[in-house]
Structure 1
C-alpha cells in the first residue's frame, strides 16, 4: 500500500469518527436530562377546612341561687329530672324573712302615722318645716324597707325558669346557704343545643356568624349534623390564647342530644391564596417556607414559596407562585437549580 493510499484512508476514518461523534452528542444530552411531570397551579380563593374538638351543651344553662341566705327547707329537684317552667325546685326556711316583713310593715305604719301628724302640726305652725320634711322622708324610707323585705320573702323559693331538666343538685335540706351560692344547675329546652369549641387565632380569623358547620358526635361519627356559627369570641381566653366559638345545632336534629357529649366540628371557609399545588411538588419544607421547581426552557428553576396551610394532598401557598402556571409535580425531589429536565406526559 502506498503512502498516499494510507493518508487517504486515515483522513476518511477521521471524518467518519467526527460524524459519529457529532451525531452521538445530542443523544447523550437527551439521556442526561431528568424526566419530570408538571401540574397546574390552582388559582383564586380556596376552601380551608377548620377542624376542632368541641362539647355539646344546652344553650340556656343556669346556676340558680337564693338572693338571701338561710336554711334550706326543701329541695324538690333531682339530678336529671325534667322540669316545667315555673315548677318549684327549692325553698329556704322563711321564719326569719316573714318576721322581717312583719317588722318592716309595722315600721312603715308608724312612719306614716308620724308623717300625717307632722303635716297637721306644720299646717298650724307648731313645728318647723325641717321637722315636717324629716317625717315625710321617714315614711318614704319605711315604705322602701317594706318593699325590700317583701321582695326577699318572694325570692325565698327557686322555680324553673324554662322547660328543661336539672343538671346537678348541689345542696341538701338542712344546709345553710349564703346569698348567691349555687343551689341547682339547670338547662332550658327552648333555646336548643349548641356545640362550643376553641380555635387558635389562625383559624378564627375569617369566620363569620352564619357560616355553615358540620358536627360529628364522637358516639356517632358517621352522622353529620348541620349547624350554623352563632357566636365568635372577641377576645382570647386567658392562659390558652384560643377563641371560643359556638355553633347552633339544627333543632330538627337536636332530639336526643345530651349536654357534655364530645363532638368534632368542621367549618369550611374561603381564604385568599396565591395558589394551590400538589403536595409532592413542595420541597425543602421548613415551617411555612418551602421550594418548588418550574421548567424554564429545558432547565429546572428553583422558586422559594410561603405555605399558608396543607389541605390533604395539596399545599396552599400564600406567596411565591405569582406568574407561575405550572410546577414540577413528579421528580421534584431529584432536582436542583439549573438541572437539565425534560417534561414527559
Structure 2
C-alpha cells in the first residue's frame, strides 16, 4: 500500500517541476526579446526626435524671376513650299535636238533660248509658202486693177483675196511652227538638270528641263475648321526647316481656300515668303507657326521651372525670411502656352516672384534652399 501511494506522488512532482522549467524559459525569452525590440524602438524614437530638432539641410538650386509678358496664341502645323512660277519645259513638236543653250542649274531670263530642234523641213515649207504668198499677192493686185476697170468680176476678186489670205495663213503657220522648235524660257528663274541631249529625238510632251522662280515662294498648309474664324489674310507666319536649323523665314497669309475639305475637315491656307537669298527651294516641307486670336497676358518663366503632373502643373516659389534664409514653397499654376524654351503662366504666379529652375527633384514643400545661378539648366 505504501509503495502504491509513493508512485503517484513522484509523477505529480515531476510534472510540477517540468512546468516550472517551461515557465522559466518563457519568462527568459520574453525578457530577451522585449529588451531587443524595446531597445530598437527607443533608438528609432531618439533618432526621429533628433531629426525633428535638426531639420532638413539646405538644397542647392538654380532660380529665375517671373516676368510679365503678352503672347499671341500660336498654332503649329506642317507646310510645304511651292514656286509662284514653276513648270516642266517640254517639247511641243517632235524633232531632233540640234542645240542646248543652257547649263544645268543656271539662271535664265524670260525669252532666253533653251533648246533648238531640227527645223530644216519647216524652213523649206516656209520658203515654199512664202513663194505662194508672193504669187497670190501679185495676182490679187492685178485682179483689183482689172476689177477697177470693169475687166474682172467680183467673184474673181473674192477668189483672189481668199487665195491671198490662205497663203498668208500658211506662212504664219510655218512661222509659228518654227517658233515652237526654238524652245525659250517662259519666265525668269533657275533651270534644273537637263533631261535631253544633242541628237536625241523628242516627242510632244517629252520633259526637257524644270524651271522654277525662287523669290518669292508660296507656303501651303492646312488648318482645322475650328480655326476658320481666326485666320485671315495678312496674319504673320514663321517657317522653319531642318535644312537651316535655327533659322526662321517670315511671311504672311495671302489666300484662304474657298471650301473646307469634307474628308479631313481642314481648310487650305497659302502664305507668301520672301526668299531674296534663294536659300529655300520649292518642294521643301517644314514647320509653320501661325499667330492666331487675341493676345494672352501672364508671366513668362523658363519651362524647366514647371513640374508637370496629371494632378496639375506646379512650380517652387522661393521666399526670403527676415534673416535672409531662403525657403521653397510648392504652388499649383496654370500654363497658357509654351514656346522657345519658355512658358506663359496665366494663373498662380505674379511678375517678380523667384522660381526654382533646377533641382526640384530634391525638394519638398517648405524645404530650405541655397540659390546658385552660375550653372543654369
Task: Please give the range of the TM-score, normalised by the shorter of the 2 chains.
Answer: 0.5 to 0.7
**Separation in 2, partners of 1:104, 1:157:** 20
**Separation in 1, partners of 2:261, 2:132:** 51
| Residue 55 in structure 1 maps to residue 80 in structure 2 | yes
1:1-345 to 2 correspondences below 5 Å? 48-189=73-214, 191-204=215-228, 206-235=230-259, 243-251=267-275, 254-270=277-293
- CA change 1:186–1:62 in 2 (3 A) is same
Query: Which of the two has higher C-alpha Rg?
Result: 2
Q: What is the CA deviation profile of residues 89-143 of structure 1, one whole-angstrom value per residue up to 9, with x for unaligned ones?
A: 2111111221221122112112112212322332343432122112112212221
User: What secondary structure is seen at the aligned counterpart in 2 of 1:196?
Assistant: strand
User: What secondary structure is seen at the aligned counterpart in 2 of 1:146?
Assistant: helix
Query: What is the CA RMSD across the aligned residues, in angstroms?
Result: 3.6
- CA change 1:205–1:117 in 2 (3 A) is farther
**Separation in 2, partners of 1:185, 1:238:** 34
Name the structure 1 match of 2:358.
Answer: none
**Separation in 1, partners of 2:217, 2:84:** 5
- CA change 1:88–1:239 in 2 (3 A) is farther
**Separation in 2, partners of 1:75, 1:241:** 48
- CA change 1:242–1:69 in 2 (3 A) is farther
Cα deviation for residue 75 of structure 1 reads 2.8
Given that 1:83 and 1:160 are in contact with CA atoms closer than 8 Å, whether structure 2 keeps it comes out as yes
**Separation in 1, partners of 2:270, 2:195:** 27
**Separation in 1, partners of 2:289, 2:179:** 47
Q: What is the CA deviation profile of residues 145-166 of structure 1, one whole-angstrom value per residue up to 9, with x for unaligned ones?
A: 2123223213322233444321
**Separation in 2, partners of 1:199, 1:168:** 35
Name the structure 1 match of 2:319.
Answer: none
Cα deviation for residue 85 of structure 1 reads 4.6
Cα deviation for residue 73 of structure 1 reads 2.0
**Separation in 2, partners of 1:220, 1:152:** 46
**Separation in 1, partners of 2:256, 2:188:** 27
**Separation in 2, partners of 1:229, 1:82:** 28
- CA change 1:106–1:71 in 2 (3 A) is same
**Separation in 1, partners of 2:226, 2:244:** 28
Cα deviation for residue 206 of structure 1 reads 4.1
Write 1 or 2 for the structure with the bigger share of strand. Answer: 1
- CA change 1:50–1:64 in 2 (3 A) is same
TM-score (norm 2): 0.52
Given that 1:50 and 1:203 are in contact with CA atoms closer than 8 Å, whether structure 2 keeps it comes out as no
**Separation in 1, partners of 2:126, 2:171:** 6
**Separation in 2, partners of 1:203, 1:169:** 43
Cα deviation for residue 71 of structure 1 reads 2.1
TM-score (norm 1): 0.56
